[in-house]
Amino acid sequence: MDFNDTPQEAAFRAEARAWIAANAPKHLEAELKRASFGSNGIASEDPLKAAKAWQKKKADAGWACLHWPKEYGGGARSAIERVIWGQEEGVYGALSGPFVIGHGMCGPTVMSWASEEHKRRLLPPLASGEEIWCQLFSEPAGGSDLAGLRTRAVKAEDGSGDWIINGQKIWTSGAQHSDWGLLITRTDPNVPKHKGLTMFFLSMKTPGVEVRPIKQANGKSEFNEVYFTDVRIPDSQRLGAVGQGWEVSLTTLMNERLSIGSGMSTGFPELFRLCMEMEIDGRAAVDDRAVRSKLAQFAVRQSGLKYTGMRAITALSKGETPGPENSIGKLVAGATMQELAMFALDLQGQSGVVWDETSPQNGRFQAMLMRSPATRIEGGSDEILRNIIAERVLGLPADVRVDKNVPFKDIPTSGRTKS
Amino acid sequence: MNLDFSDDQKALQDQVRRFLAARCTSAAVRAVAEGPQLFDRALYAGLAEMGVLGVAIPEAYGGLGLTHLELCLVAEELGRAIAPTPVASSIYLAAEFLLQAGTEAQKQAWLPKLAAGTAVGAFAFAEGQGETTPARIKTVARGGKLTGEKAAVLDGDVADVAIVAARTGEGDGPEAISLFLVDLAAEGVTREAVTTIDPTRSYARIAFKNAPAEPLGGAGEGWHIASQVLDRAAILMAFEQVGGADRALEMARDYALDRMAFGRPIGSFQAIKHMLADMYVSATLARSNCYYAAWALSAGAAELPVAAATARVSATQAFLHCAKNNIQVHGGMGFTWAFDCHLFYRRANALALALGSQSVWEDHLIARMRAGNAAEAA
Ligand SMILES: Cc1cc2nc3c(=O)[nH]c(=O)nc-3n(C[C@H](O)[C@H](O)[C@H](O)COP(=O)(O)OP(=O)(O)OC[C@H]3O[C@@H](n4cnc5c(N)ncnc54)[C@H](O)[C@@H]3O)c2cc1C
């Protein structure tokens, strides 16, 4: 038990700090600091270009995807060093937004399932941010019930071995600026749903792929619908065997929970600052005992999450594999962020409704209020995460599955029974 | 960075767990709850014999001379077993007071006995209702004699010696308070057992009338010393709470797997599954906060005050949450005397109040974060 850096860790920290001090895009620091929630806040230049530039610079110096092997563009560093890097990168970490899905989910899947040749082709530009990836999993008919997806892949009739894809994906974050996609499809509707799936990767520029933005509840447009019309891809772009897609997707989802959950912010430091700075009748909000009580409740959740992450890293560095217990990260962070935003608005009284440049911290809490519902849904809803904890950590019985052994084509598609 | 206990520490924990599983059974806890004995003396002697009481007490004073990390794990096990013993009063509090503020003679006089379990110590702090503040301490010390009354002293009737907070100065400030070491067998001390929500532990009202008392620590330093020791004890008690929370969760999980309703185990209903998942979440957050606090305690880190309040608030919440939902999962059985659920519910609520209630610790936490922030800004 030691929370301090070991001498090696301290040396790594010093090295990282020095490199960041010499190389970070300092001209963006002020904007990044002022950024409200859910965007990197850069307006003085193209935010995606700024993100890519920083990522490339890191990659060239060996600081990108720290935990990946060097031959795939990574830094071959330990899990703890990755945490230290994150602490040192500070506000510049917000520039990694466009790469989260690629680095956190698609990359690890490619690393586990692609051929050596593909790994050497695909991973280095993914690490360096030169190529962006998206996750083409969810569909109108398959979100929580991902295995209910309907996008079809069938073998081309010309004997080429190619696959022809038809169907629709939805909620695909970042598809609009992605170069590659990780795509799960149905190759066999005559077997039970989990058994007839196959995973591919494809270039988003492949003919027949069409990306249509969706306007979100918070007014932004980060996720999309992606349509596939007779999209042809070679068999060499398959990951895993035909029919093994479910197993492949578990690699992605496990990494998803790890990468979304552990480092998640709940907005507590910002709320604390608000309560210190905001004056009510000439006194700081934090002078009110009821406010302190609420703050304490948020504080212990935030720190509990942080140290749960540290315990996971400790386990990882002792060679243990991260398990389903990591589902708690996003479960706690999502709900906390939402409650915290509501509390911050409540403190502002009737003015809490205002969301403009006069709002405290540039409207951060209003933005959090409007983004947090998504956190409780994306990458496994709160309910799915509770199921995972109950079943896989506590060993309770699985939900009753009426569709388990039924061929996919025979599963009912509407919840309302005809009378 | 390493946020885990060592293999040796875990082996010690395992040994204590096995010992308690054999000796601190439900029947043993109930014997105290229902019978005349104030605590389980045989169990306490057994813990002393294992060296567990003195695990963090230096060898020079009869302890094992290990660290507070080991003591944290012992505490977790005592909490799991809801052990009916005065370890918290005697070890987390009295021994810590002596170690932090005692003279060499005081340490020599009491620590070996506390470690051996041949004497029991307690901390007499609160008076009347509400949060304990310097202003609310009315017990006065004059010329080496104490006069006043202390409320709900944990193990107050079984203790041989008490550390007592008393007023030596005027005014409502902390500098008016000093600490005293009082031999409870002395003349001028009357003790009256009180009925509480947790009959597995004993509490007493203690009245002092010109009772002889010797100072512990400097005059006017009492409040400061007490805050420091309460922080340390809060971390240890938080480990007890985490142990209790984990056990309550396990009981609920096991019952949910066995109990059938509507032709299915109740643990297959999502309402029950999700309740248990939420219990797991709060127990896990509390455990993680406790690990950090354990490090701060053992390293004497500057973060200790914030870490202690964090662990305490989080662990109180987790144990209350798990204990109350454990009853819910058990249905009618959960509300019987025969099932152990109520013992955990009682202990969870009693521990939530010992050392100052939840709202007090919430306040400490934010006040300390605020002070830390101010220090950082300066
Ligand atoms: C901002 C955002 C970004 C996203 N980005 C991507 C992306 O990049 N790529 C991608 O593939 N997907 C993405 N998603 C999709 C996301 O993974 C799904 O929305 C999510 O899995 C839920 O599926 P659904 O929307 O179909 O809701 P449904 O599955 O229809 O769920 C509706 C409600 O029913 C509940 N429910 C469903 N099944 C159960 C059950 N077994 N037990 C209890 N309750 C249940 C859910 O918890 C939820 O409350 C994104 C979503 C959001 C909001």
pLDDT single digits (tens) B361-373: 999 999 999 998 8
Integer Cα distance of B370 and A324 in angstroms: 36
State the pairing for strand pair A180-186/A133-136.
Answer: parallel
Task: Please tell me the CATH code under which domain A7-131 is placed.
Answer: 1.10.540.10
Which candidate, A205, A225, A206, places its Cα nearest to that of A215?
A225
Where is average pLDDT lowest: A320-324, A329-333, B252-256? Answer: A320-324
Q: Any idea what DSSP says for residue B106?
A: H
Percent of chain A with pLDDT over 70: 97
Look at residue A263 in the predicted model and tell me its pLDDT.
Answer: 63
Looking at CA atoms only, how far is residue A278 from chain B in angstroms? Answer: 14
Range in A217-221, A249-253, B195-199, B263-267 with the lowest mean pLDDT: A249-253
Which residue is closest to A394 within chain B, CA to CA? Answer: B253
**Tally of domains within chain B:** 3
Which of A143, A63, A72, A71 lies closest to A96, judged by CA?
A63
Name the strand (E) or helix (H) holding A32. Answer: helix A29-34
Higher pLDDT pick, A324 / A107: A107
* Catalytic residue list contains A256: yes
- Ligand 1 centroid distance, CA of A334 (Å): 14
* Span from the CA of A340 to the centroid of ligand 1 (angstroms): 23
Residues of chain A with CATH 1.10.540.10: 7-131
Among A28-37, B77-86, B203-212, the minimum mean pLDDT is found in A28-37
Closest residue by Cα to residue A218 from A68, A417, A355, A382? A355
Task: Give the pLDDT confidence score for residue A39 in this predicted structure.
Answer: 76
Percent of chain A with pLDDT over 90: 80
Which alpha helices (H) appear in chain B, and where do they start and end?
7-23, 26-34, 41-50, 68-80, 87, 96-101, 104-116, 222-258, 270-299, 304-334, 341-353, 358-377
Here the CATH number for the domain that contains residue B351 is 1.20.140.10
Phi, psi torsion values for B144, nearest 5 degrees: 75, 15
Helix (H, G, I), strand (E, B) or coil at A236: helix
User: What's the confidence (pLDDT) of residue B242?
Assistant: 98
Residues B243 and B371 in one domain: yes
Residues of B in contact with A301 (CB under 8 A): 285
* Nearest beta carbon to residue B267 from set A292, A310, A396: A396
**Containing domain of residue B182, as a range?**
122-220
Interface A:B, Cβ pairs < 8 A: 163
DSSP 8-state assignment for residue A175 = G
Q: Which amino acid is present at A32?
A: L
Whether residues B350 and B242 share a domain: the answer is: yes
pLDDT digits (tens, 9 = 90+) for A210-263: 999 999 999 999 999 999 999 999 999 999 999 999 999 998 877 765 654 456
Pull the structure tokens for residue B155.
């193990």
Contacts of B51 (CB under 8 A, 6+ apart): B63, B64
Q: What is the pLDDT of residue A417?
A: 61
Determine if ligand 1 sits within 6 Å of the CB of residue A268.
no
CA A12 to CA A173: how far, in whole Å?
34
Best to test chain B binding among A294, A303, A376 (most B CBs inside 10 Å): A303
Give pLDDT, residue A299: 97
Please give the Cα distance from A126 to A109 (Å, whole number): 12
Question: What's the N-to-C CA distance of chain A in angstroms?
Answer: 64
Whether residues B296 and B188 share a domain: the answer is: no
Report yes or no: A45 and A36 within 8 Å, Cβ to Cβ: no
| B1 lies in some domain | no
Closest CA to A328 of A311, A352, A345: A311
* Between residues A33 and A207, the one the model is more confident about: A207
pLDDT of residue A257: 58
Task: Looking at the structure, tell me whether residues B159 and B95 fall in a common domain.
Answer: no
Which of B1, B314, B369 is the closest to A304 by Cβ? B314
Residues of chain A with CATH 1.20.140.10: 264-393
CA of A179 to the centre of ligand 1 (A): 24
CB B276 to CB A331 under 8 A? no
Of B63, B84, B119, at which residue does a domain stop?
B119
Indicate the DSSP class of residue A418.
P
Burial class (CB within 10 angstroms; exposed 0-12, middle 13-18, buried 19+) of B376: exposed
**Mean pLDDT throughout A114-127?**
98
Cβ neighbours for B189, distance < 8 A, ≥ 6 positions apart:
B182, B206, B207, B208, B211
Cα separation of A40 and A28, whole Å? 10
**What stretch of H or E contains A297?**
helix A289-317
Same domain, B103 and B167: no
For residues A96-124, give the mean pLDDT: 96
Q: What is the dihedral of CA A348, A350, A353, A359, to 10 degrees?
A: -40
Residue type, A419: S
Cα angle A370-A372-A378, degrees, rounded to a multiple of 5: 120
pTM of the predicted structure, to 2 decimals: 0.96
Over range A279-306, report the average pLDDT.
94
Contact status, residue B139 vs residue B127, Cβ threshold 8 Å: yes
A143 within ligand 1 shell (Cβ under 6 A): yes
For chain A, residues classed under CATH 2.40.110.10 are: 134-243
CATH assignment at residue B185: 2.40.110.10
Q: Answer whether residue B2 is part of any domain.
A: no
The CA distance from B162 to B94, in Å, is: 7
Give, to the nearest 10 degrees, the angle between helix A245-261 and helix A328-347.
40
Q: At A177, is the pLDDT very low, low, confident or very high (cuts 50, 70, 90)?
A: very high
**CA-closest candidate to residue B16, choices B240, B224, B172:** B240
The residue from B93, B119, B145 where one domain ends is: B119
Q: Which of residues 321-360 of B touch A (CB under 8 A)?
A: 359
Please indicate, yes or no, whether residues B36 and B88 belong to a single structural domain of this protein: yes
Mind telling me how many Å the CA of B64 is from chain A's nearest CA?
19
Nearest CA to ligand 1 atom 51: A378
Tell me how far the alpha carbon of residue A68 lies from the centroid of ligand 1, in angstroms.
29
Burial tier of B117 (Cβ tally within 10 Å: 0-12, 13-18, 19+): buried
Q: What is the spatial distance between Cα A212 and Cα B88, in angstroms, rounded to a whole number?
A: 63
A178 lines ligand 1 (CB under 6 A): no
Query: B370 and B265, same structural domain?
Result: yes
Q: Is this complex's ipTM strictly greater than 0.90?
A: yes
Residues B78 and B16 in one domain: yes
Write down which residue in B220, B244, B267 finishes a domain. Answer: B220
Which of A250-259, A394-403, B117-126 has the least mean pLDDT?
A250-259
Pick A303's closest partner by Cβ from B295, B310, B363.
Answer: B310
Over residues A2-52, the pLDDT tens digits come to: 999 999 999 999 999 999 999 999 999 999 988 767 778 888 999 999 999
Report the pLDDT averaged over residues A319-336.
86
Question: Cα torsion at A401, A407, A409, A413 (round to 10°)?
Answer: -10
Examine the domain organization and report whether B88 and B25 are in the same domain.
yes
**Same domain assignment for residues B62 and B197:** no
* Ligand 1 center to B259 CA (angstroms): 32
A135: nearest Cα among A59, A374, A143 = A143
What is the pLDDT at residue A256? 67
Residue B289 pLDDT exceeds 60: yes
Question: A397 by DSSP, 3-state: which?
Answer: coil
- For chain B, the first-to-last Cα distance in angstroms comes to 28
Closest CA to A229 of A169, A188, A180, A270: A169
Q: Confidence class of residue B230 from pLDDT cuts 50, 70 and 90?
A: very high
Tell me if chain A has a CB within 8 Å of the CB of B56: no
User: What is the rounded distance in angstroms from the CA atom of residue B57 to the CA atom of residue B66?
Assistant: 7
Structural tokens at position A121: 């082709």
Contact A275, A347 (CB under 8 A): yes
CATH number of the domain at A264-393, please? 1.20.140.10
For residue B358, give the amino acid letter: Q
| Distance set, CA A313 to CA A63, A78, A306, A307, B1 (Å) | 19, 9, 11, 10, 9
The residue written with tokens 């004997």 in the block is A159
In this structure, the residue with its CA closest to atom 44 of ligand 1 is A383
Q: Which residues contact B8 (CB under 8 A, 6 or more apart)?
A: none
Tell whether B90 and B178 lie within a shared domain: no
Q: Are A343 and A384 in contact (CB under 8 A)?
A: no
d(CA B215, CA B229): 16
Question: Helices (DSSP H) in A182-288: which residue ranges?
Answer: 245-261, 268-277
Mutate to test the pocket of ligand 1, among A137, A144, A184 (most ligand atoms within 8 A of CB): A144
Q: Find, among A127, A100, A106, the residue nearest to A38 by Cα.
A: A100
Q: Does A133 sit in the ligand 1 pocket, CB within 6 Å? A: no
Give the gap in angstroms from C-alpha B65 to the nearest C-alpha of chain A. Answer: 18
Residue B362 and residue A318: Cβ atoms within 8 Å?
A: no
What is the per-residue pLDDT across A137-151, written as a single tens digit (0 to 9) for each?
A: 999 998 999 999 999
Q: Do B296 and A295 touch (CB under 8 A)?
A: no
Partners of B209 in beta bridges:
B147
Q: Choose which residue among A99, A137, A151, A171 to substitute to test ligand 1 binding: the one with the highest number of ligand atoms within 8 A of its C-beta.
A: A171
The CATH number of A134-243 is: 2.40.110.10
Of B264, B281, B286, the CB nearest to A331: B281
Mean pLDDT value across residues B313-334:
98
Please check whether residues B104 and B166 belong to one and the same domain. no
Return mean pLDDT, chain B. Answer: 97
Instruction: Kindly state the DSSP code that residue B35 receives in the 8-state scheme.
Output: S
